[in-house]
Amino acid sequence: MPTKRVLVTGGAGFLGSHLCDRLLAAGHDVLAVDNFSTGSQANLGHLLRKPHFHLRQHDVVQPLDEDVDGIFNLACPASPLHYQRDPVHTTLTSVLGVHHLLELAERRGARLFQASTSEVYGDPQVTPQSENYRGNVNPLGPRACYDEGKRCAETLCFAYHLQRGVAVRIARIFNTYGPRLAPGDGRVVSNFICQALRGEDITVYGSGEQTRSFCYVDDLIEGVLLLMDADIEGPLNLGNPDCRPVLELAELVLRLTGSRSRIVFQALPADDPKMRCPDIRHATRQLGWAPKVRLEDGLRETIDYFRHLLH
């Protein structure tokens, strides 16, 4: 992209902070906005003195007016532990938040990137999941505030695009991991690593045979930037098609950390998907994108991050 003033909502979060790094490195002027409900200013501490970086505390449930050329909307709690804490606010963040940002995009003639999610597929009945699969979502379950909120956000994006000509880009993001994941946020990678490093039991829900896709954060951000700059609205799946059983991930974390933690099993949460694997053929064909970082290599980087964080 040519040099622009870019807004990143959810900028203090895991993905948002990495995206801010890349945008600044590309020479853009970046405004990060976050309500700090799950994001942390520590994720952006290394950027605060940079002249082209700006940080503001703001909740996207409230309108926002800034002179921007591009908008990356990553504002929403992404782990079940966090988004189920206040399901009303989670739903409003996805729906009312993207509405305010689409209004801003229309006023400024800006392009908007919407961070959607693999959770729009719910507990899928097919694998891998392609973009034309309509999903199997429980609209009244404990995950609905996030799943249905993100589905409605996609609807609003295309409504603004088709009715009002707003330029939108939508990515359905699958499980992503790497440095700056928050400890104790309920995500499987950070849970397993923190438990292993502390010598605690590693908690596997269900039998551990359910599959997950694990994409390293650097690969994911590369896909986000390629899509934002491409001439395609999406939605496109962004994730790693190298899917692994959760139990295999737990065993791999034990090996890489050298931990003597035990693996223990607990009941599977309600509506927890049994299969999660992206079909990324469209992203590969239209963006030339595919993940490059091997799971073992990405886990080593993530484990090193948590070793320093926890000691």
Domain boundaries, the chain: 5-177+214-241+280-287, 188-210+243-276+294-310
Alpha-carbon radius of gyration of the chain: 19
**Are the CB atoms for 96 and 73 separated by under 8 Å?**
no
DSSP codes, 27-42: T-EEEEEE--SS--GG
| The pLDDT of residue 1 | 53
- Say if strands 5-9 and 29-34 run parallel, antiparallel, or are unpaired: parallel
Q: What are phi and psi of 12, to 5 degrees?
A: -95, 5
**Are the CB atoms for 218 and 241 separated by under 8 Å?**
no
In a 3-state reduction of DSSP, which class is residue 12?
A: coil
Does the 5-177+214-241+280-287 domain belong in CATH 3.40.50.2300?
no
pTM of the model: 0.96
Low-confidence stretches of the chain (pLDDT beneath 50): none
Task: Judge if 5-177+214-241+280-287 and 188-210+243-276+294-310 fold alike in CATH terms.
Answer: no
Which residues are tagged catalytic? 146
| The pLDDT of residue 185 | 87
**Are the CB atoms for 280 and 241 separated by under 8 Å?**
yes
| The pLDDT of residue 297 | 98
| The pLDDT of residue 147 | 97
| The pLDDT of residue 2 | 58
| The pLDDT of residue 3 | 65
In a 3-state reduction of DSSP, which class is residue 55?
A: strand
CATH assignment of 188-210+243-276+294-310, given 3.40.50.720, 3.90.25.10, 2.40.37.10, 3.50.50.60? Answer: 3.90.25.10
